Amino acid sequence: MHPVIAKSQLSPNVTRLVVEAPRIAEIRQPGQFVIVRRGPGAERIPLTIAAADPAAGTISLIIQSIGKSTTDLVELEPGEAITDIAGPLGRPTELLETGHAVCVGGGVGTAVILPIALELARRGVRVTSVIGGRSREWVILEDELRQAGEVVVCTDDGSYGRHGFVTQALQDLLDAGGIDAVFAVGPVPMMRAVSEMTRPYGVPTTVSLNAIMVDGTGMCGGCRVSIEGETRYACVEGPEFDGHTVDFAMLADRLQTYRSFEQQAMERREACKIGLRRPTAASGAAS
Amino acid sequence: MTDQPPLTPKQRMAIDRVAMPEQDATLRAANFREVNLGLAQQIAMLEAERCLMCPKPYCIDGCPVRVNIPRFLRLLRDGDLPGAADSLLDDNALPCVTGRVCPQETQCEGVCLRGKKGNPVAIGHLERFVADWAQAHPEGLTHSAPIPTGRTVAIIGSGPAGLTAAGELAKVGHDVTIFEAFHAAGGVLVYGIPEFRLPKDIVQAEVERLKASGVKIEPNVIIGKTYTLPELSARFDAVFIAVGAGLPVFMEIPGENLKGVYSANEYLTRVNLMGAWNPESDTPVLHGQRVAVVGGGNVAMDSVRTARRLGASEAAIVYRRGREELPARAEEVHHAEAEGVRFEYQVAPLEVLGDESGWVTGLRCQRMVLGEPDESGRRRPESIPGSEFVIETDMLVVAIGTRSNPLLTSTAPDLKVNQWGYIETDPHGMTSMPGVFAGGDIVRGAATVILAMGDGKRAAAAMDSYLRGVYPPLTPQPNIPAARPAHDVAPAGA
């Protein structure tokens, strides 16, 4: 069992849970994730380890509530516990030792960027973080990222920071020159746009792929992604890959596999909350 | 019963082999309840009378864990169920499992003398009967707590090899901890083999029996990630690696990454371990209407029968060879046929076809003829030019085998593996790292539950000897069937 120690709301649908997981806190590295199962009957879902405190034996999970499983998780309160956390999984980020890195975070992807930016800064790399959101209330982790260096905040509606997308701010940085590496994590269209933007500049670009996973250890193959035309498993060979080699269209497509199930699960969840039992729409098993 | 005079050999020979009662095929094709219903006690005792109690019983040699079959059958025949249960459990840590999933026709029953003329004794059904009785009557069993040895053993993986080794080592007083990557113990018994073939409460009860004997289980620990193998071997006096051959093998043909294409591992794990057979489960699974499963092993049968139960109006096995060559247990093939599964024999997939939104729509295939036997002894399929056709499907499951997972081995530079990533061991199961043993699929390549259990039992005996300071062991190793070539990625499974 992994008790929830603290909880905070970072944006209207993003929550930070600090949970006990001493061994993972001790050994995790930037870029790694855990598989979390809230309790009996719950789904196994991959979540980035956004931060860790080895002394306290805790890790931070930053969760966007977009479906039933994530919504169930963020409803946990301090004192309650997550039954299963397995990890740390995935390969750690390949970091550079010197130079200037730009860390681009879109939405909840900023949580993946945070440990990368902090570790780069700790090694002496100059870090510029570019993060964005629809409007001011959707921007997360700005203060935490400031500990790694300069932060450029972009909002789609101009309500805070720079008006526009993170890619526009990145373009300016690339044009100014001297960028040795880009790390970009966010929605698939954003990672694709960043990778296309850095390609002509020849700047190495690392993206983190949020593929569908069950076990996280290479066993199910559900997370297969196409890298330079070769099938790779995001869970064990990733989750980070060279953005210039990723087939983003396939990733985006495979992420749609369970969209109708997710909608049904949310509808059932809402129905349960208001005390109704609705017949399930899913075809399927008797008994 | 005991007060009856013993049967004459003639009377014994006159008894017909029992038939396992089954759920009706039409009904069961729409539910996940167990297909085989089990024998009544009187029927089981009568079947046990059929055993000739051979002075040199071939059946024991035919069993990878060397169950003393005539001994437990004699006790069953005489109505001594506690005695039969003790006898069976002494030889076999998971009899409820093996009584259901072993390929008896190629093992104990395959060499039974009664099979020379007529049908062999239904050893598998009787093993299940006695094991189920034991599970229902724990108070009837004798327990003798071993003297603790003070030695600690780590077992990596809680599948059939790991559970068997754990049981054997705990029985002789070692302090055993199992590390399991998933949240639940059982390995392939819980994620792979479906409920209708091996009910999960049966597996759970076997696991609980092990825990009651002192075995500790730590779930959610991935060796190679949470801890490395060298860390573990420094912490424990001995280690047994039983992680299975976890990675799925795909066909490597175009279109395999379309939506609606599953590895059997993913499909079965979603349905079995994660409970997606229940439409209200949090874990989703696709409910294909026209499902094709590529492969001919037990895993392929499990997948196609699962698809039928999840509502597929058409469910087909696509297999390169013919019915005679199917590696699956005979009973699974019979059950699948009775449940309306279609078999496309001598067919090889060429390409997975999809629509503009990325969903699978079909499987382009070609017909095969069977030529000369290859190195596996099975006739080699050869393509027939111009025989291409399309199997229309909205869900495809690839069940053509598994391979080794480098997650653990890549963190253990001193651990010797072969070119396919399987761990190399000496004849007793010890790896290139002193005190570290290995067995099951990660040594022999994808095989069966019972062969993995045989490895677990053999390694446990060698580990016990090692922990007592005697290695290599003095006692000869039991006759365990040799590992198959690891590169033969034939369909895997129980």
Average pLDDT over residues B180-193: 96
Q: B478 pLDDT band (50/70/90 cuts)? A: low
High-pLDDT (> 90) share of chain B, %: 85
pLDDT in tens, B209-252: 999 999 999 999 999 999 999 999 999 999 999 999 889 999 99
Evaluate if residue B91 carries a pLDDT over 60: yes
Q: Are B129 and B44 in contact (CB under 8 A)?
A: yes
Mean pLDDT of chain A: 92
Q: How many CB atoms lie within 10 A of CB A204?
A: 16
pLDDT at B476: 60
Instruction: Work out the angle between the directed axes of helices B81-91 and B123-136 (0-180°, nearest 10).
Output: 110
Q: Are B323 and B301 in contact (CB under 8 A)?
A: no
Evaluate if residue B140 carries a pLDDT over 80: no
Q: B446 pLDDT band (50/70/90 cuts)? A: confident
Distance, first Cα to last Cα, chain B: 35
Instruction: Output the furthest CA–CA distance in chain A (Å, rounded).
Output: 65
- Give residue B261's identity as a one-letter amino acid code: V
Evaluate if residue B296 carries a pLDDT over 90: yes
Domain A2-89, architecture per CATH:
Beta Barrel (2.40)
pLDDT at A287: 34
> A231: which chain B residues are within 8 Å (Cβ-Cβ)?
250, 256-257
Measured distance CA(B173)–CA(B149) in Å, rounded? 5
Quote the minimal CA–CA distance from A37 to chain B in Å: 8
pLDDT in tens, A153-165: 999 999 999 999 9
Tokens of B13: 């020979």
Task: Report the residue of chain A nearest B250, measured CA to CA.
Answer: A221
Q: Which residue has the tokens 């902090």?
A: A118
Evaluate if residue A19 carries a pLDDT over 90: yes
Q: A72 pLDDT band (50/70/90 cuts)? A: very high
Q: Are B76 and B50 in contact (CB under 8 A)?
A: no
Say how many CA atoms lie within 13 Å of B352 toward its Cβ: 28
* DSSP assignment letter at B424: P
Give the 3-state secondary structure of residue A126. Answer: strand
> B219: which chain A residues are within 8 Å (Cβ-Cβ)?
84
Q: How many CB atoms lie within 10 A of CB A280?
A: 15
Taking an 8 Å cut-off on Cβ atoms, the answer to whether B270 and A24 are in contact is no
Average pLDDT over residues A82-101: 96
Q: In this structure, what are the phi and psi dihedrals at residue A269, rounded to the nearest 5 degrees?
A: -60, -45
pLDDT at A31: 96
| ipTM of the complex, rounded to two decimals | 0.91
pLDDT at B148: 94
Task: Report the residue of chain B nearest A231, measured CA to CA.
Answer: B257
Q: Hey, which residues 230-259 in chain B have their CB within 8 Å of chain A?
A: 246-248, 250, 256-257, 259
Q: Are B333 and B324 in contact (CB under 8 A)?
A: no
Evaluate if residue B487 carries a pLDDT over 50: no
Q: Are B381 and B321 in contact (CB under 8 A)?
A: yes
Q: B138 pLDDT band (50/70/90 cuts)? A: confident
In this prediction the pTM is 0.92
Task: Report the residue of chain B nearest A232, measured CA to CA.
Answer: B257
Average pLDDT over residues A203-232: 95
Estimate to the nearest angstrom the gap between the alpha carbon of B109 and the chain centroid.
17
Evaluate if residue B1 carries a pLDDT over 70: no
Taking an 8 Å cut-off on Cβ atoms, the answer to whether B225 and A88 are in contact is yes
CATH 3.50.50.60-classified regions of chain B: 152-246+403-467, 251-400
Q: A268 pLDDT band (50/70/90 cuts)? A: confident
Quote the minimal CA–CA distance from B236 to chain A in Å: 18
pLDDT at B376: 77
Mean pLDDT of chain B: 92
Q: A203 pLDDT band (50/70/90 cuts)? A: very high
pLDDT in tens, A183-197: 999 999 999 999 999
CATH 2.40.30.10-classified regions of chain A: 2-89
Tokens of A100: 């200037």
Q: B270 pLDDT band (50/70/90 cuts)? A: very high
> Strand ranges (DSSP E) for chain A?
2-11, 14-20, 33-37, 44-53, 58-64, 81-82, 84-89, 100-106, 126-133, 149-155, 162-163, 181-185, 205-208, 224-227, 230-233, 240-242
Task: Report the residue of chain A nearest B356, measured CA to CA.
Answer: A253
pLDDT at A273: 66
Of A41, A222, A262, the CB nearest to B266: A222
pLDDT at A281: 42
Taking an 8 Å cut-off on Cβ atoms, the answer to whether B247 and A219 are in contact is yes
CATH of the structural domain B9-140, one choice from 1.10.1040.10, 1.10.1060.10, 3.50.50.60, 2.40.50.140: 1.10.1060.10
Q: B474 pLDDT band (50/70/90 cuts)? A: confident
Give the angle subtended at the CA of A42 by the CAs of A41 and A44, to the nearest 5°: 130
**A100-254 in CATH: which number?**
3.40.50.80
Residue B154 CB contacts under 8 Å (≥ 6 apart), including other chains: B177, B178, B179, B232, B233, B235, B236, B238, B239, B240
Evaluate if residue A282 carries a pLDDT over 90: no
Average pLDDT over residues A245-249: 97
Which site among B257, B269, B394 would you substitute to test the A interface, given the most A Cβ atoms closer than 10 Å to its Cβ? Answer: B257
Which class would CATH give B251-400?
alpha beta
Residue B396 CB contacts under 8 Å (≥ 6 apart), including other chains: B260, B261, B262, B291, B292, B293, B294, B352, B360, B363
CATH of the structural domain B152-246+403-467, one choice from 3.40.50.1220, 3.10.180.10, 3.30.1600.10, 3.50.50.60: 3.50.50.60
Estimate to the nearest angstrom the gap between the alpha carbon of A262 and the chain centroid.
19
Taking an 8 Å cut-off on Cβ atoms, the answer to whether A220 and B269 are in contact is yes
Q: B168 pLDDT band (50/70/90 cuts)? A: very high
CATH 1.10.1060.10-classified regions of chain B: 9-140
CATH 3.40.50.80-classified regions of chain A: 100-254
Q: B9 pLDDT band (50/70/90 cuts)? A: confident
Tokens of A149: 């260096």
Q: A247 pLDDT band (50/70/90 cuts)? A: very high
Evaluate if residue A274 carries a pLDDT over 90: no
Handedness of CA B139, B144, B145, B146 (dihedral sign): negative
High-pLDDT (> 70) share of chain A, %: 94
pLDDT at A275: 53
Q: Are B285 and B194 in contact (CB under 8 A)?
A: no
